[in-house]
Structure 1
C-alpha cells in the first residue's frame, strides 16, 4: 500500500500512535483522501488554531537530510535571517553541500529600517558567508511574509539551477516554508500548501515540489540551531525575538557608568567614554530600562521575570544566565545580540554586552 504524506509538513501519515509524528485520526484521513487536502493532526491544529505540538526529530535525522543534499547534483538555496545571521547559519553547511552551488537568500528584509540600503546588506551577508566557508553564487534579499522580491528569487533559481533539483535549507524560524509557499503561489496560484509557523521545527520531512522539466524543489526541515534566542522563550514571547514590523530605532543618551537592560533578555553596559547617544534596533515592543551600572547585577536579580520581562517567571527556570562580553570600539559600530537586534555605537567607547549563555554577541561595521 502506497504511503500517504501530509501536504503541510511532508511527514508520513499514520493513524495508530497519537504521540508520534504524522498522526491523523481515521475520520480525518478519510476526509482528506476525499478532498485531496490531507494534513496530519499537528499541521491541522497549527493551521486552524495556531497550536504547535512538539515532534522529536534527532540530530542524526537532520544530518542524514543534509548528507542527502551533498549526495545530489543540485542548487542549494540557503535561507538565512537578515535580522539574525549568526543564529541562522547551519554549522558546517559548506562541508555538507559537497561542492554544489549555493544561492544565499536573506529573508525578513522588511524588518530593517528603510534607510538600510540593499547593497550594504548584500555585501555584509556575503562577507559573513565567506567567514563560514560558504561561497554563494549570488545573494537575494526577500521578505517571504510580504512577498517582496519573490519573482526575482524565482528568476535567480532558474538561472543558477541549470536543470538541476533545488534544495531549500535553513535553520528553524528563518521563514523558509513561508518563502516556499510564496514561490508556489507565484508559480501556480495555490495558497498556503505548506504549514508555516513562527515555532521552531514545523517541516518534518522533505517536501517535493515538481518543476516543469521533471526536476524538483525540495523543502527540508528547519535545522535546529541551539544558539537561537527563540529556543529559550515560550510562544507568547516569540514576537520579541521575531519582529513582524519594520523596526523603529530608539536612541538613549548614556554617560559612562550606565546600563541599558533589553527587557531581561540581554544587557548593555557603558564602561568608559564621553556622553553619547546609543541607538537600539529591536522589536518595537521590547521594553528597555536604563539604570546605573553600579548595582545593575542586583537590579537584574531582583527584577528579572517581572519588571525585566521577557523572560516571564514561567520561563526563568530554563533561561540561561547572562554572559559578559567586553569590547572597545573606535568608530561607528553595531553591537549585535544574536536573534534580538543591535545597538549602534557612534563614538569611541569601552563597553560590555551581556547575552544568554550560548547566544552570540558580535561587532560589525554600522550598517546604518
Structure 2
C-alpha cells in the first residue's frame, strides 16, 4: 500500500510530486502566515513596530501639545489650531496595523484613539438644551464678499437679536446698515467692525488691540433681562509661510490687549463676538480664553468649524461669555458670499 505522502514512481522512471494530506482547520488558521509556520503567534508581536511608533508619536502630540515649543515658527500654536485633525491618523494607523497583521501595532493604535476621544469626544454629541433668552451671531462678512445681498438675507433670517460683523469695508457698512435697518434698529460701527441689535446700545468705547487702527470695541446692550457688555473684535490674521512658519505674533499681542480689557470690564455679564483668528486650543489666545467660556464647546453639536467656508477646517470665529451667562445652543450657519461661515449661539441670562 502506498502512503498518500510518499512519492510514487511511475513505469517510465519519473516521480510524481509529493501529495500532502489535507490540513484540518484549527483556531487562528485564518491568520495569513500560519499556513507556512506553526509558530505564527509570536510573529504577531514582532511585526509592526514602526506603526506602533507612529501611534505613540500621535499620542504624545495629543497629550503634550502644549509642550510643543512656539520658539520657532509658532509650531505649537499651529499644531493646536488643527489639533482635532490628528484624529485622522487613527484609522490610517489601524489600516496599517491590519495590513502588517501586528497585534503590537493594533494595541498601540488604541492609545491615540482613547486620548482623542477624551479630548474631543464630547464635541460629537448634541449638548443643546434650548430655552434661551436671546440669540447672538458673529460673522466675518469679508471685504471681498461675492454676495452681500445674500449675506444680508442670511442675517435677517437668522433669528438673532444681537449681530456682530467683522471686516466691514466702506461699501459694506452702507450695504449692511441699509439691509439690516428694519430688523435691527440699533447699530454702531467702529473702524471695520460693527454691532447690530434689536435692543438699545450705549456706552460704546474703542478697545486698543495694538495694531494701529480700530478693529475692536465694547458696548453695553440692554436686553429685557438686563445689561450685557458686548465686545466685538477682529484680531490680526495669521499666515503659514515656509520660511517663517506660523506668523501669529501680531495676533498674540492683540489677544493680550483684548484679554486685559475684558478682565477690567465692570459689567458682570460679558460677551465676546468676533473673528479671533485662532481656536480655543491655541495657547496664544489664553489671555482671552482662560477667562471665558465657549458657547460651541458648552452647547454645540460637532466641532463648529467656521473657516474656510467651502471646506471648514477650524473654528476661528468665536462666541465667548463670562459672568454667569449660560449657553443653551450653538450652531454654524450655511455658507454665503464670505470666506467664513457665520456662527450663532443662544443664551440664558
TM over 0.5: no
When the two structures are superposed, what TM-score results if normalisation uses the length of structure 1? Answer: 0.26
Structure with higher helix content? 2
Structure with higher RCO (Cα < 8 A, 6+ apart): 2
Larger radius of gyration: 2
